[in-house]
Amino acid sequence: MTTQTEATNQRTISKDVSIGLFIPCYIDMMFPEVGIATLQLLERFGLNVSYPLDQTCCGQPMSNSGDEVNAAPAEQLFVENFKGYDYIIGPAGSCVKHVRCHFDTIEQTADVKHVRQHTYELVEFLHDIVKVDSFPWAEFQHSVAIHNSCSSVRGLGIAKPSEIMGVPFDKTANLLSKVKGLVIAPVDRPDDCCGFGGTFCVTDEAVSARMGLEKAHDHLRHGAEYVVSPDMSCLMHQQGIVRRAGLDLKYIHVAQVLNGGPF
């Protein structure tokens, strides 16, 4: 097992930089192991991580439904909780995208601007800021398909979307390629929406479920044992569809793989 001291050799930011850990409400309630893995992973690099205890929902569900009036108090509370940190890191692309891209209906104070500019999704933070070059403690002897969410791809630029010309890149794949034993299974339509879409899966249930099922068949067709994603909300949606269909496919957050657990 690699020690924390060995891991900090890769760190490119000072240990004095303060990091606020943002754990979305649904992860806190249903997938606490993802929050634990995120914290442990950041701490492996000697980073100074704190968890504001008063944090709640970032306001995304209300905002997605057009209810900016009721989204505003949640958004203001988020700013109040995280305004004092140099970086705010969350293991959820859609929630981070909401903070960065959609906190624009509340007054744009200096604190709001600071929080919006310094909130990062976990993969982009490790790839772009910490510039991690290895995860020597991690081993995952499985074939995995990567699901980068629509929010992560088109909102945060975590990978190149297929509809835009240019040199392909995938920050999630780059990090996972450094995990011992892990094999990435290429799929036919890697950046297709899985059908979750937040409230879309409620308002358009049949279409949403079919999109998720198509995604699962794409993954299985290419021999994937696991689907790995920076967005647990998408995995939650796909996992429910697969279980209902009786398909043999497992789902796990990228933080758990890179940290070596908890599984």
pLDDT at 9 over 50: no
**pLDDT score, position 201:** 65
Q: What is the mean pLDDT of the chain?
A: 91
Nearest to 97 by CA among 59, 133, 127: 59
pLDDT-derived band at 3 (thresholds 50, 70, 90) equals very low
pLDDT value at 238 more than 60: yes
Count of Cβ atoms closer than 10 Å to residue 49 Cβ: 18
- 3-state SS of the chain: helix, strand, coil percent to 5? 50, 10, 40
Whole-number pLDDT of residue 6? 40
Residues 6+ apart with CB under 8 A from 6: 136
CA gap 220, 211 in Å, rounded: 15
More confident of the two residues 252 and 1: 252
Which pTM was predicted? 0.91
